[in-house]
Structure 1
Amino acid sequence: PYIYTRLIIMGKGAGRGGGARREEWPKDVKGSAFSVLSLDSDPKPPHSSSRAPPSAPRPAASSGSSSTSATSCGSDIKRLQFKQGKERQELITKYLDRSNKVCLLFLFDATSSMGPKIEFVKEQFQSMFDAVKETYGQVLIKAGVVAYRDFDQGENHTDVLDFTGNPAKLRDFLSSVKAVGGGDVAEDVFTGLEKAATLSWMKSCTNLICHVADAPCHGSAFHDLSARCDDRMSGDPKNRDIKKLLSTLFHTCRVTKYFFSHLNNSTVKMVKEFRKAAPEADWLKDDHVQNNQVLKEFICNSIISTVTVSLSTSGCARSDAKRPVSKNYPIDPKEPDWSSLSVLYGTNCEHEMLVLSALHGALADHRPLPIGKDFRMQLKIAPRPFSNEGVSRYPFYATWLDAPSGRDKSGQLVKQERKMVLKEFKYDQGYVAWVGKIDFTDVSAYLLQGEVQTVASVLAREFNQDIRCLRCPSAKEIRFPKVWVVSVRHPSGVKYYNMEQLLQAPGGATLDFVRFTNNNGAIGKEGLAHPYSDSVLAFSHYTYEKSNRCLMVTDLQGCWCQSPAGKKQFTLSDPMIHSDKYLLRSPGNFGKKGAAAFFKTHKCNDVCRALGLNPASNYVAPSDGGQGPGPSGASSSRLSSVISDKSC
């Protein structure tokens, strides 16, 4: 029998009738550790770390004696485990429910030239929303409209529809909007932005603006038009500041993304100035729309990408706190002139690759995966990231000047330069309700990222071994590159990064990076169209069954390329893991809710069948007390409805 001892540590000044009491419970027979802090008020959110499980909920005050029997202590631990899991799932469910609710504002220039575009949106908005639901089946969209004109139409020259989920109401309103006026070329865009801030934005939802216009705002600072085209060249007659207008939309209205559709080149300078004034560099996205079909795709992709951001690591970490602002690095897609950069010094380490049984043991005991020795290194880092497409981290070109490259005949270590990518989190701080406060500048955030990818890499190795004996042409191998955690001494202080080898196509060709899935069941159209996507989609299904329904690797993106050994394979990176047992400090870990969302959209393919995986239609959404979706013998149609009823 297992005998447990409850240790009560009385804080300073504690005694009968007061003080803080800390109750610490040893690991139970399954290796789950809990540390309970009992205070008169709620504790502060726990600090983010990949090396400890999240704090258990505070227990109710005890009126009896502190019994140390195995029976009572064991039942208390089980109760705490259940309560922790239940509360965590409730918080995740609430967050997913909010993220899948979308408030979309159509912000239109409604002067004479815009009539055909408004009519097109009126006729096509329902098919746009249906296209979004093909990717995110759980999305619920409310739409609003702000149609602005110019001062020649009088003081009240806007039409406004607050957010509605009634398609008929939206269609009738768009039919009532008259495209009139616009004596000069420039229009009163500022009033449109001002009116947009008055709508009933839901701060806990995914909010976005789709701005469609063919003319800039007033003021020579926003366009290169002649004075004949703008009768207010000095700027807005009400002296409104674009920085304040955009800040209100970002901070007060909690607009997640602002998308601008250029119908011609007259708005390019205006959007450039808007981006300078925006609270975040990547908050405002723009594109040139050549025709109506491209406009439709632009609006659909805007909604899908915004929901994807909300469900990402950074999106989760920004949801429940005062909205943090990203670091706003300027982007430079070109490799730097390495000869002009100084050498930096630091250290690196990596997680060890384990056999499957050892991996299970480490995760079950909530132990961090073993890490190898720290090695000194010399490197050069590009001063600016080369992309802003990642939702959570900035990527930087880097050169590892003394990378190990085997040994020579005499046994001496050979070193050479190697091109790498360093990844830095876009935000310094975050807060997630089911995790707590997260410090993205701390090494623990980067260790956790490396740990997640190492787990995915171990399971990919198992997947590759299992498909090699299959007679299935569509079964292709999958690889996750090695991830180092790097500490670099900059003149301003020490900074941490994750480091991976730079992927390069032979002969200087361009690699085609594809997002196959996200962490809430969505399957990307590009990923679905890939000729070998069956392997990637089957891999998530495989990880769930290989781990005995304890975890699932999702959020898969990467490219089909040639490995260093010359073998064609998928190289994927930055995955997420769903589990109610392991890696609970990961913000994008939605546990059984994430697994249920995957099975709601997943359709088993030839690779799934060749591996003998349970059909996706046999998986049902779990109850609150269950460990996750599990096989069932019920009919697939009935099971689909069960998943739909239980999903967020």
Structure 2
Amino acid sequence: MSKSKWFCLKKNSDNASIQSSISSSTSNKTLAVNELKIKAREKAVSKKLNDIKRLMEVDLCFVLDCTGTMGSHISAAKDCILQVSNYVKHINPNIKLRVGFCGYRDHDNGIDRLLVFDFTDQYEQFTQYMQNVTPIYNLDLAEDVLGGLNAAVTQMNWQNSTRVLLHICDYPPHGRRFSYLKDNHPNGDPYGLTAEDVLGRMQSNNILYFFGKITNHTDKMLEIFHDIIGEFPVFDLVGGDPLVLINKFIQATSSSITYAVSLTSTIVSSSNEINSMQRKKIIMNPNVPDWNTLSLQKGIVMWYHIPKTLDELKNPKYFDKSNLISKNFSYKVASQPFSSGVEKYAYFALDAKSDPTKDMVIKEYLHIGKRNNPLEKYLEAVEIFTVAYFLSTQFNSIAEQKNIPKVNFLNVKFLRYNTFCFTKYYTIEPKLQNSEYKRFNANTGVITELRPILEAFVHFTYEYTKGYLVVCDLQGIELNDDFLLTDPAIHCIDPLRFGGTNFGENGIKQLFLANHKCNDICKKLELSHVNNE
């Protein structure tokens, strides 16, 4: 071999060795970076799971008008609490509940004006106390509502992280501000209490307000309260048949508890942010716009192919940006959102080029944060949909054979809109039918509306993926023979996938396996029994 040829081979060998060394070094750096990311993510998830556990501890206070017309409601409050505690224990065993009571009458009642029974987890004691609460008639119609609410906020020993105040009354506070009913104190509370002071104190104590409505006499009060603290749930507690009323109380109380826990644990953040959810004054427009008045916009929609196998689903590289499919998209969108959740605004939209035109919904994240890549956030949402959709098709193929209603997900795509100055990102999906939108369960493990089929679907996703993930946070509409869902979340043993709502392997253990109770649908699907006893 000539010396020049030997040098050439030696040089090529050295270059290959250098390239191999560089490649190995790059690979090692990537692994090291991923390990750091995983450790940071696991630390953040551990904190969130501890926060969620803390937020499952609930203080529930009934604030009840105890004047002459409220006898049946006092009895219903007494009779419902044992059933509520049993319901919570069975459906959401991770929730720990203390219950208390604050009753109010009016200023003419002296020492009987206010009744306070502090929080306890001994529900029989609550029932015994309520047996001695009797309605008292007064000379006017307005009542000491503000005094009762103020006593509940300031005299009760609120300790738990999730704080629920369920207010039930049939007449408003004193003052012409609230009504023109017969009122011995038309200038307002004789002690100077105002709704702003009382409700502000309530929010500063991180107490969430719920209302049980009996008559239309409280409509103006509710309007004023909404202006002060924002939106809050209102339950129908109109009287009538005592058994029907008790069932309404059970439903309202259980819903208040699960709603509050779902809200606070979903946010998993500071109590100030929790309060801001009720206080926030976002300008909403619930009406579909006149599309003729809105200009046509052009963007690009992107989506992933649905995986064909479990291996493709488990492979993060399958969801690389380079695998996105895209096409041009012409649309119109409302200028104001019609709805807002914890994470997103929702806008009415129109697929303008389809024939006929299609009603759509465009969603935009409320808070992306300076450190987060908005593109990645929206791509995660589309990836979550794609995985959930694939698993629903596998579930439905078995469900159809066993006459089980199907679980379907809306087709979610990623929308990019470019201008000369900036790029905006959204998700876009078909508009749901005009049916009641419900949240059935949360990614925190809370079941808000028990549907055995959906709990079995969550179980199915765990078993089908061999423990790799669970699909949860199921919300949408319930039809006659199926469910149509949107915005799911995924807990996965890979903590770097599926965004901030993925609570990892420990999330699967603590929020699904520890709480799931196998039902008849699980048995029909022949799913392995989850043993959490």
Q: TM-score if structure 2 supplies the norm length?
A: 0.80
**Map of 1:56 onto structure 2:** 39
SS in 2 for 1:187: coil
Aligned residue for 1:26, secondary structure, equals: helix
Structure 2 counterpart of 1:95: 51
**1:501-512 → structure 2 map (5 Å cutoff):** 501-504=430-433, 510-511=434-435
- 1:334 Cα deviation from its structure 2 partner: 4.0
Equivalent residue of 2:359, what SS?
strand
SS of the residue aligned with 2:518?
Answer: coil
Q: Structure 1 residue aligned with 2:472, among 546, 554, 557?
A: 554
Aligned amino acid, residue 253 of structure 1: N
Paired with 1:580 and 1:32, the residues of 2 have a C-alpha distance of 18
| 1:234–1:584 CA distance, 2 compared to 1 (3 A) | farther
Q: Which of 281, 303, 306 pairs up with 1:350?
A: 303
Cα distance in 1 for partners of 2:68, 2:289 equals 47
2:39 aligned counterpart, secondary structure:
coil
Distance 1:175 1:156, change over 3 A: closer
Query: CA 1:328 to 1:286, structure 2 compared with 1: closer, same or farther past 3 Å?
Result: farther
Q: Quick one: which amino acid aligns to residue 252 of structure 2?
A: F
CA shift in 2, pair 1:185/1:438, >3 Å? farther
Shift of residue 106 of structure 1? 0.8
The equivalent residue for 2:93 is: 137
Bigger mean CA deviation after superposition, 589-598 or 96-105: 589-598
Q: Does structure 1 retain, via aligned residues, the 8 Å contact 2:456–2:518?
A: no
* Residue 238 of structure 2: aligned partner: 289
CA distance in 2, matches of 1:305, 1:549: 28
The alpha-carbon distance between structure 1 residues 94 and 319, as it changes in their structure 2 partners (threshold 3 A), is farther
> Are 1:571 and 2:520 an aligned pair?
no
Aligned equivalent of 2:451: 527
Unpaired segments ≥5 residues, structure 2? 1-19
Amino acid at match of 1:519: N
Conserved in 2, the CA contact under 8 Å of 1:516 and 1:537? no
Superposition deviation, residue 517 in structure 1? 3.8
Decide whether the 8 Å contact of 1:213 with 1:261 is kept in 2.
yes
Matches of 1:165 and 1:420, distance apart in 2: 47
Q: Is residue 2:442 matched to residue 1:518? A: yes
Question: Structure 1 counterpart of 2:517, which letter?
Answer: H
Give the corresponding residue for 2:381. 449
Deviation at 1:317, TM superposition (A): 4.7
1:157-185 per-position Cα deviation (integer Å, ceiling 9, x unaligned):
32223322222432343344453353211
- Give the C-alpha shift of residue 350 in structure 1: 2.9
Match for 1:266: what amino acid?
A: H
Asked if the contact 1:220/1:233 (under 8 Å) is kept, the reply is yes
Which range moved further: 180-189 or 237-246?
Answer: 237-246
Aligned residue number for residue 275 of structure 1:
226
Match of 2:252 among 298, 313, 323: 298
**Is it true that 1:253 corresponds to 2:210 in the alignment?**
no
The residue matched to 1:197 in structure 2 has which SS? helix
User: Which structure features the higher share of helix residues?
Assistant: 2
- 1:26 paired with 2:9, answer no
CA 1:496–1:270: 2 relative to 1, 3 Å: farther
Amino acid corresponding to residue 134 of structure 1 in structure 2: H
Contact 1:100 1:138 in 2 (8 A): yes
- Cα–Cα, structure 1 residues 189 and 488, in superposed 2: closer, same or farther, change >3 Å? farther
Out of 460, 472, 478, the residue aligned to residue 402 of structure 2 is 472
Query: What does residue 484 of structure 1 align with?
Result: 413
Task: Tell me how far 1:254 sits from its aligned partner.
Answer: 1.1
**CA offsets, 1:343-387, max 9 Å, x none?**
445443334433433332216x996784334745331326341x5
Tell me the CA shift for residue 271 of structure 1: 0.9
Q: Which residue of 1 aligns with 2:512?
A: 598
Cα distance, 1:90–1:526 mapped onto 2, change above 3 Å:
closer
Displacement of 1:444: 4.0
8 A contact 2:495–2:504 mirrored in 1: no
Residue deviations 1:534-563 (CA, integer Å, cap 9, x gap): xx444322322332211111222344669x
Flag the 1:372–1:539 CA change in 2: closer, same or farther, 3 A: same
SS at match of 2:363: strand
2:281 corresponds, among 314, 328, 335, to: 328
For 1:126, the equivalent position in structure 2 comes to 82
Q: Does 1:197 align with 2:153?
A: yes
SS at match of 2:443: coil
Alpha-carbon distance in 1 for matches of 2:257, 2:475: 19
Distance 1:561 1:111 in 2: 42
Q: Do the aligned residues in 1 keep the contact of 2:172 with 2:217 (CA within 8 Å)?
A: yes
- The amino acid that maps onto 1:262 is K
Check whether the contact 1:135–1:524 (CA below 8 A) recurs between aligned residues: no
Q: Is the 8 A contact 1:472 1:607 kept in 2?
A: no
Local SS of the residue matching 2:116: strand
| DSSP 3-state at the match of 1:301 | helix
Over residues 419-477 of structure 1, what are the superposed CA-to-partner deviations in whole Å (9 max), with x where a residue is unaligned? 1012344x4378xxxxxx987x9444333322221221232334445x38x84333x55
Post-superposition offset of 1:483: 1.3
Structure 1 counterpart SS, 2:74:
helix
Determine the structure 2 residue equivalent to 1:423. Answer: 363
**Is the 1:145–1:161 contact (alpha carbons within 8 Å) kept by the matching residues of 2?**
yes
User: Number of residues paired by the alignment?
Assistant: 504
Deviations 1:170-207 (A, max 9, x none): 234334445335321111212222222223333x6221
CA RMSD of aligned residues (A): 3.9
Query: How far 1:128 sits from its partner (Å)?
Result: 2.0
Aligned-residue offset at 1:110: 2.3
State the secondary structure of the residue aligned to 1:499.
strand
Q: Please give the alpha-carbon distance, in whole angstroms, between the structure 2 residues aligned to 1:503 and 1:583.
A: 31
Distance in 2 between residues matched to 1:478 and 1:32, nearest whole Å:
38
CA separation in 2, counterparts of 1:268 and 1:321? 28
Report the AA paired with residue 371 of structure 1: L
The offset of 1:594, in angstroms, is: 4.2
**What percentage of aligned pairs have identical amino acids?**
25
TM-score, normalised to structure 1, is 0.67
> Contact conserved, 2:301 with 2:416, CA < 8 A, in 1?
yes
